[in-house]
Structure 1
Amino acid sequence: MKKWIIFALTLTLAMVLAACGGDNEEDKTAQQEEQQEEGNTEDGGKQPEPVKITDEEKVDKGKAVVSVNGEEIKGDRYNPAYLQLKTMNTQFNQDVDNDQLKQQTIDMLVNQQLINQDASDKGIEVSDDEVQKEFDTIKKEGAERLNTALEQFQLNEDQFKSMLRDNLITSQYLESEFDIKVTDKEVEDYYKQIKEQSEEIGKLEDLKDRIKQTLKEEKTNEQLQKRVDALKKDAKVETFI
């Protein structure tokens, strides 16, 4: 896992878990990961103008947005998440109005909170030292990119670390809770499907590891979706905006 792509990972969770997620969102997020990592876009390398949110779209940092089983999520977490989703929709020319975007953001935050709570119940914890170590690694590997991302998404370091903690918790949760297996037959079947679409994809032996990873991620996402759906059925969620 590329530790730098924290924003893309957060958006991946949005696509996998938000109620609005579509079947093809995973491919879009993968494309965005590549663009963010390389600093390129389809227009030949120029970064698009930063997306902004209006004062009307923002929520006061200390205002409660939603409560999940008694734990409040406030504007300081909502605003950067909202901006990320708005940026993604803009990059992929998705026409989403403010109300839809607000609901997508709330869904993403609720789902992440449910994962965090279930992880905590199962003894999965991420210490401040672990978060700081991961942050230091990211900063060492690309300080300029990190600063650009913080500016683009209007984040301070504490907000970034909060998102990083969520990602570390989710990674440990997935590793602990789901034992995902991919068979050789599944890899071969997948290869046959994509080969039907293009004869120039290369040999199976060259693509086997990549296909296996793709299938594992798909299965993991499906299991995570089912788990979150089950958690949500028993959860008490109150929205305040």
Structure 2
Amino acid sequence: MKKWIIFALTITLAFVLAACGGDNEEDKTAEQDEQQEEGNTEDGGEKPDPVEITDEEKVDDGETVVSVNGEEIKGDRYNPAYLQLKTMNTQFNQDVNEDQLKKQTLDMLINQQLINQDAADKGIEVSKDDVQKEFDTIKKEGKDRLNTALEQFQLNEEQFKNMLRDNLITSQYLNAEFDIEVTDKEVEDYYKQMKEQNEEIGKLEDVKDRIKQTLKDEKTNEQLQKRVEKLKEDADVETMI
């Protein structure tokens, strides 16, 4: 898998984290994952119009927006995350108002911080060198695509590296904490459902690996949401905005 796809995974993960603990978002998240994947072509596709956030929506970079077990998250992380979610909601034609976006953003930041903290407690670490190495590889394999993505989401390199670090921590956390299995029967049942909806889907052996990965991702997301909810129950969380 090419490294620039990490950015798409970071965006997708944002929706998963924002959905944790909220209303049932599984169907919507799955649809967004599919649309995101379809949009991630090698040439980058059409360049969407940039989404702006107003002064009223922004928070001062140094202002604390939430405290998670004593660790403060400030506006310099909130603003890019808010814009990221607003952009993705706009692209997927989701009608979300400012209050909903603020809640989604805070939920995402809280949930990610809980994962980071639990990962650290379990000895999972991602160094600056790890992040820089990953970033350099992404840039080498798709500099133009990376620049387009940074421009679209109005991120500088440092902000992207912060998001990349979160994603790398979460990836290691998922691999270490969850042993997800997908049976052949589950794959076959899923294939039958797909076949009923689309007769031209192809033979099972041609799509088996993709189905298996989809089911694994769904199970992983479900387990991640359950874990985050448990962490949140035991956490000291104080929202400041």
Q: Same fold (TM over 0.5)?
A: yes
What is the distance in 1 between the residues matched to 2:2 and 2:66?
A: 31
Cα pair 2:2 2:141 within 8 Å, conserved = no
User: What CA RMSD, in Å, does the superposition of the two structures yield over aligned residues?
Assistant: 1.6
Partner of 1:119: 119
What is the distance in 2 between the residues matched to 1:59 and 1:159?
A: 15
State the 1:128 CA deviation: 1.0
- What CA deviation, in whole Å up to 9, does each residue of 1:107-139 have, x standing for no partner? 011110000000000000001111110000011
Partner of 1:84: 84
What is the distance in 2 between the residues matched to 1:58 and 1:6?
A: 26
State the aligned residue count.
237
What is the distance in 2 between the residues matched to 1:133 and 1:95?
A: 38
Q: Which runs of 5+ in 2 are unaligned?
A: none
- What CA deviation, in whole Å up to 9, does each residue of 1:24-60 have, x standing for no partner? 22221331233244456xxxx5322110111111111
Cα pair 1:64 1:73 within 8 Å, conserved = yes
Partner of 1:218: 218
- Name which of structure 1's ranges 172-181 and 2-11 shifts more when overlaid on structure 2: 2-11
Partner of 2:144: 144
Cα pair 2:85 2:105 within 8 Å, conserved = yes
Cα pair 2:14 2:108 within 8 Å, conserved = yes
Decide whether aligned partners of structure 1 residues 161 and 177 sit closer, same or farther in structure 2, where only a CA change above 3 A counts.
same
Cα pair 1:15 1:26 within 8 Å, conserved = no
Decide whether aligned partners of structure 1 residues 4 and 30 sit closer, same or farther in structure 2, where only a CA change above 3 A counts.
farther
- Give the alignment partner of residue 28 of structure 2, picking from 24, 40, 47: 24
Partner of 1:101: 101
1:46-195 alignment runs, 5 A limit: 46-195=46-195
Partner of 2:38: 34
SS at match of 1:139: helix
State the 1:208 CA deviation: 0.9
What is the distance in 2 between the residues matched to 1:22 and 1:100?
A: 17
Q: Which runs of 5+ in 1 are unaligned?
A: none
Decide whether aligned partners of structure 1 residues 12 and 227 sit closer, same or farther in structure 2, where only a CA change above 3 A counts.
same
State the 1:156 CA deviation: 1.6
Normalising to structure 1: TM-score of the pair? 0.93
